[in-house]
Structure 1
Amino acid sequence: MTKGTVKVVVCGDDKVGKTSLIVTLMKDRFVPNLQDVLPPVTINRDFSSNPYSPKGTILIDTNNEDIIQLHLQLKSADVIWLVYSDHESYEKISLYWMMLFRSLGLNIPVILCKNKCDRYNNTYNMENQLNVNVDTKVEDEEFIPILMEFKEVDTCIKVSALTKYNINQVFYLCQRSITYPIVPLFDARVGQLKPLAREALERIFLLSDNDQDNYLNDEEMLALQKKCFNKSIDINELEFIKDTLLDLRSSSTPYQNPYYVEGKGITKEGFLMLNKIYAEKGRHETIWGMLREFRYTDSLSLDDTILHPKLNIPDTSSVELSPKGYRFLVDLFLKYDKDNDGGLNDEELISMFQCTPGLPKLWSQTDFPLSSVVNNRGSITLQGWLAQWSMTTFLDYSITTEYLIWFGYEGDTRLALQITKARRFRRRAGKFYRTKVTDRKVFNCLVIGKQKCGKTSLLDSFLGRIYSTLYTPTTKPRIAVNSLELKGGKQYYLILQEFNEFNETDILRDKRKLKECDVLCLTYDSSDPESFSYIIDLFKKYNKYIKSIPIVFVALKADLDKQQQRCSFQPDDFAEQLYLDHPLHVSSLWLSSLNELFIKITETALKPEECTAGFPEEMNIDDSDYMQTAVVLGSSIGFVTLLAFTLVKLFKANDHK
């Protein structure tokens, strides 16, 4: 994103040439006999030619006589251009100017500039005498103590207003200190990349290592260059990079190069070393070119507006993955399934999530990967992987957009999502009900029932797990998500959520949870005579909440002896009173009954009007039937009216005769 106008305050001792530098930059020629202080000057030139450069730069000349004004100008600066020209003004850099900046609490880059270096420009001077090459080593060494002592100093440069030597370059350095700040990247005092920079560059390495062999080969380096700088790297430069890394040795591994391996490529440590060299050589823009392409801000965090883009979601709509989102997740799965066994084992999952903050909190809370489909080795399958992300997107799409970016998704993550239409409601017999759903592929079902009635086994069966007779009480909410196919080949994702008894009462009062719910699956143990009374009690307490949501009654443990329920209504009678289907009898040992149930739940989500409590059968008909009835009735009324009108006219005609 383009930066706004930045302020560069030019300061230093009197007579070091501050004003001459500004005028020479503006007019591209040296102008003698200038006024003492210039008014602020705006320059719109951009010497870096990149979209992150500032729109404009304001150069502010300073007067050392007005200390208060000088302090105000320094406090308003984005960059300080500090100028000296001789030994006396050089001594004051450390003794006065840098101390002043710190006393004012300034934490901004300083560009240190030695002016009046006329002899370094190999052109004719004012007397038309050719300058000779001189040894600049002594003056170069002036900069080293400053750079070592003051981390605020971004870079040092020698210039000449008289010969225009490095004038454009120093202005570019001022812009670059804002556009490509060195401070977040490199600690000059210890000569190392800073931790956040290392972390970001390690992630870039992992995302660029497409074959997951822990090396960047030539092809991957060329792809990285093309992605970040939109141009191919010169083959000679690539060879120079490799030669540079080959020449380096580590004291801990003197016989093995830790940075580059012939025939394989650049290691992660080699990639970090290469960027450290870039920082030392002043090539900050190369590092930032990569960081910004991978969505990093100046603070070396991923841009929050990209991680969590705003979506305009109607109140009763849901969010699902688009085909583009599913395609990315399929490719990601295949990339990290190194053994091609159709599942991601623990090692492969760790490798995949290296470039992220770790597993989403939602996944950890729901015992991933046990919340989805795994193979016989406990590795999540592609079916389970896609189901897991379908569930995540439905429950909290911001987790999906965030992790898509962490995984290296390119472009706008909103294109990986799609928003379903808002639910439509109709009013009948004084009550509102949900109408047919046509564009949703992910449905959410809350499984409610008395403790020990078999809810956990139901969720396990949904995921294809073997039935266990061992009872494990549900102490925290559980989620199971899987895909299923209905007649006609249409695929849907079904989320089953289970709660303990203490959570269930809160859930049934939670308007947000109920709004996200497509179907209520009310379960009881058909072999326990005290089980169904729990459902009746829920209706008494939460009748107004429950009756607005489609309901499926389920009698679990149907393989055991059926018991008469000790309550005011038997399950079949209670369902009939609500004009709902009788309970489905299901057992975790009967595969066909389980399939019937999961299909029934999905079909109920698609046609909620057929399973909403409180509508008599004659009122619970399809909208198309109403339309046909209305058309027939309208036609009949019209015909009768026309017939009556014709008969009246005939009678009147006969009277006239």
Structure 2
Amino acid sequence: MSASDPVTGSRTSVRIVVVGDHATGKSSLIAAAAAETFRQDVPPVLPLTRLPADYYPDNVPIIIIDTSSSLENRGKLAEELKRADAVVLTYACDQPSTVNRLSSFWLHELRRLEVYANVYVTIKAPVIVAGCKLDRREEEYNLSVEMAPLMQQFREIETCIECSAANMLQIQEVFYFTQKAVLHPTAPLFDQETQALRPRCIRALKRIFILCDHDMDGALNDEELNEFQVKCFNAPLQPAEIVGVKRVVQEKLPEGVNELGLTLTGFLFLHALFIEKGRIETTWTVLRKFGYNDELKLRDDYLSIPNKKAPDQSVELTSEAVEFLKGVFSTFDDDKDGVLHDSELEDLFSTAPESPWDEAPYKDAVERTPLRGLPLSGFLSEWALMTLLDPAKSIENLIYIGYNCNATSALRITRRRSVDRKKQQTERNILQCFVFGPKNAGKSALLMSLMGRPFSENYIPTVSEQYTVNVVDQHTGKKALILREIPEDGVKKLLSNKESLAPCDVAVFVYDSSSENSLKGAMELLSYVARQGEESGFAMPCLLIAAKNDLDSNQTTNKESAKVCMNMGIDAPIPVSVKERDLNNVFSRIISAAEHPHLSVPETDIGRNQKRYRQLVNRSLICVSVGAAATFVGLAAYRAYAARKNTSS
């Protein structure tokens, strides 16, 4: 494999800022690189300098910013560094004090500015340390030995090089290595401390290996290796080159090659070898040919996500994608026990940058078996939740685990909820329910019961939104129900966004049936949410849930809640007891309300007044229309009469 015509990603230029102590040769270095000759008359600080695209093989132009080290220019220096793609940090080879200043001031200053870039390095811009005025040094100096402690302490240093503008020695190399550090960064791929490929790099290369292993025998044969070479580097491998590649791997790592060809272990070893030998652009070319960006995630142009045209539409998996996921589940269920254990899930997502479900809102959002296994219903529920909340993440992970079709075959856009309401039914398979209620009403217990978890006496107030999801059997088929708990303190913040209720298919309001204050809090929330729904145009069915039905029922509460429901035109409260597992078929009833979006929509006083006003306007328009029609008919009749009279006379 060779790195001919490397892919550099989407960058249109590389911005390099040159910094260092006064009189270390910054301006002379830049001037010599631009003019390709040494200049005597170099000003203290050069204006912006450009190196054309064809200056280096990557064909990306370079913008070089010269800087002043004076105190009065520190503000401008900081601004330039924050915009830098890379930094050239200079010292003078004939001034040892400037070498000491690298660690005592400059590298700490770069870190202090906190110009972050990616998860791998301390600061955004890789640093190239350049020793200028090499022609003036008199004593012996071993660069690699002297700079090793500095590079060990400051991992952002990509390389160290010494040069001479007067002798035009390694001037072009300074900016070549700097550009290369930006276009083909080492940090995302390779850990210099452990001298090993980083986990995310291994995952990406594993996916590429699997995609190239067409016969799925766990090795790349000569034909597959050649196809890989042509795809990445536009040139075939000669038979002798293939033999040579395999020989190199086998000598260093016997298990890297078997009778079938190059194994995954050997494939990874080759890339680690390229990086160690300074050919990191080879690995980056491969990664970018297969759609990866600098963070080792698929680029946006690989993720053509269908766009919603209205906020009250949602995104779901197609039946084709669901069938694919069922097949994936079966494939990775190694022991065929009907669940995916942690090791099997890790294997499933081993070609993704990381497992997408390790953090909120996906972590602990679905049912698990007693041994922490994820059943098929939970597996599909996680995908349903991810698709609804983050369609791009869903399609991205589908591709990581082997889905080869385009996004339109995996995702579908549902019709608007306002259309569902007019048609008096919904076609959605994933339904989202917002769960409101005062503190200690039983909201979290309701969410846990959707996953089949036992009741817990320990009360832990919910401080942030949380989700649970599960598949519920309906007479209309299986539906994925997502419960989204909204803490009482977070309701106003949520509803400050006018479109916040657009994705809500149904809202439930939970209250402690033994507490009048709890009912009062739920009623206030119901009125507030219903009013916001009316005003925003995203009204939704609402249900009251009388939780903790195992406690002594409050007769006043029962009468008051029934009265409120009747006044607002919604169903009577649903009594449930999570503690006694008497759920009164609540989840099926929630889905039924969402499936019939024209029913159970609460009417507030404002809504009723608006409705009366619209009815009055409509009646007035009808009267005007009838009057106008009568006038038109009368006028027509008169004209006909007048015409007959004129004819007879």
Report the TM-score, using the length of structure 1 for normalisation. 0.59
Structure 1 contact 444–517 (Cα < 8 Å) conserved: yes
Q: CA 1:113/1:424 → structure 2, altered by over 3 Å: closer, same or farther?
A: same
* Aligned with 1:602 (options 583, 594, 600): 594
Residue-by-residue CA offset, 1:445-490 (whole Å, 9 max, x unaligned): 2356799999788667755x5x97x66566456643234687777x
Mapped to 2, the partners of 1:23 and 1:516 lie a distance apart of 57
Q: Secondary structure, in 3 states, of the residue corresponding to 2:434? A: strand
Residue-by-residue CA offset, 1:503-560 (whole Å, 9 max, x unaligned): 45764885267665332234679xx7x47885466325753334545223467899x9
Structure 1 contact 19–36 (Cα < 8 Å) conserved: no
* Aligned with 2:357 (options 336, 356, 359): 359
Structure 1 contact 453–531 (Cα < 8 Å) conserved: no
Counterpart position of 1:482: 470
Counterpart position of 2:60: 54
Mapped to 2, the partners of 1:13 and 1:506 lie a distance apart of 57
* Aligned with 2:384 (options 371, 382, 390): 390
What displacement does 1:285 show?
1.1
Q: CA 1:223/1:575 → structure 2, altered by over 3 Å: closer, same or farther?
A: farther
Structure 1 contact 445–496 (Cα < 8 Å) conserved: yes
Counterpart position of 2:278: 282
* Aligned with 2:249 (options 245, 249, 253): 245
Residue-by-residue CA offset, 1:51-109 (whole Å, 9 max, x unaligned): xx53246699xxxxxxxxxxx99x999676999xxxxx9xx579688567667837832
What displacement does 1:158 show?
12
Structure 1 contact 571–583 (Cα < 8 Å) conserved: yes
Mapped to 2, the partners of 1:58 and 1:335 lie a distance apart of 53
Counterpart position of 1:496: 483
Q: CA 1:378/1:220 → structure 2, altered by over 3 Å: closer, same or farther?
A: farther
Q: CA 1:417/1:115 → structure 2, altered by over 3 Å: closer, same or farther?
A: farther
Structure 2 contact 472–481 (Cα < 8 Å) conserved: yes
Residue-by-residue CA offset, 1:614-653 (whole Å, 9 max, x unaligned): 59999999xxx99x99999999767644443344456767
Structure 1 contact 572–583 (Cα < 8 Å) conserved: yes
Residue identity opposite 2:207 in structure 1: L
Structure 1 contact 523–553 (Cα < 8 Å) conserved: yes
Structure ranking higher on relative contact order (CA contacts 8 Å, 6+ apart): 2
Which residues of structure 2 form unaligned runs of 5+? 1-9, 67-75, 111-126, 136-140, 152-156, 534-539
Residue-by-residue CA offset, 1:274-330 (whole Å, 9 max, x unaligned): 334223322121133345556453xx6769999999999889546534659868866
Mapped to 2, the partners of 1:284 and 1:494 lie a distance apart of 47
Q: Secondary structure, in 3 states, of the residue corresponding to 2:480? A: strand
Residue identity opposite 1:521 in structure 2: V
* Aligned with 1:612 (options 587, 595, 602): 602
Written as runs of structure 1 = structure 2, the 5 A alignment for 1:84-483 is 105=106, 108-109=127-128, 145=145, 151=151, 154=159, 175-181=179-185, 193=195, 197-208=197-208, 210=210, 217-218=220-221, 229=233, 236-248=240-252, 257=254, 265-266=262-263, 268=265, 273-290=269-286, 292=288, 295-297=292-294, 316-317=311-312, 319-321=314-316, 323=318, 333=329, 336-339=332-335, 343-353=339-349, 355-356=353-354, 359-363=357-361, 367-370=364-367, 379-395=373-389, 442-447=430-435, 465=452, 472=457, 475=460, 479-483=467-471
Q: Secondary structure, in 3 states, of the residue corresponding to 1:612? A: coil
Mapped to 2, the partners of 1:97 and 1:170 lie a distance apart of 18
Mapped to 1, the partners of 2:207 and 2:417 lie a distance apart of 40
Mapped to 2, the partners of 1:79 and 1:35 lie a distance apart of 23
Mapped to 1, the partners of 2:51 and 2:90 lie a distance apart of 18
Counterpart position of 1:134: none
Structure 2 contact 209–264 (Cα < 8 Å) conserved: no
Counterpart position of 2:119: none
Written as runs of structure 1 = structure 2, the 5 A alignment for 1:632-647 is 640-647=630-637
* Aligned with 2:543 (options 541, 548, 552): 552
Q: Which moved more, 1:580-589 or 1:342-351?
A: 580-589
What displacement does 1:8 show?
8.5
Q: Which has the larger radius of gyration?
A: 1
Structure 1 contact 226–232 (Cα < 8 Å) conserved: yes
Written as runs of structure 1 = structure 2, the 5 A alignment for 1:32-43 is 36=40, 43=51
Structure 1 contact 111–153 (Cα < 8 Å) conserved: no
Q: CA 1:228/1:201 → structure 2, altered by over 3 Å: closer, same or farther?
A: farther
Structure 2 contact 189–201 (Cα < 8 Å) conserved: no
Mapped to 1, the partners of 2:583 and 2:273 lie a distance apart of 63
> What is the count of residue pairs matched by the alignment?
566
Q: CA 1:614/1:277 → structure 2, altered by over 3 Å: closer, same or farther?
A: closer
Q: CA 1:356/1:634 → structure 2, altered by over 3 Å: closer, same or farther?
A: farther
> Kindly, what percent of the aligned residue pairs are identical?
21
Q: Which moved more, 1:305-314 or 1:479-488?
A: 305-314
Residue-by-residue CA offset, 1:21-54 (whole Å, 9 max, x unaligned): 869969xxxxxxx87568988542536654xx53
Structure 1 contact 445–520 (Cα < 8 Å) conserved: yes
Which residues of structure 1 form unaligned runs of 5+? 27-33, 61-71, 84-88, 117-140, 250-256, 426-432
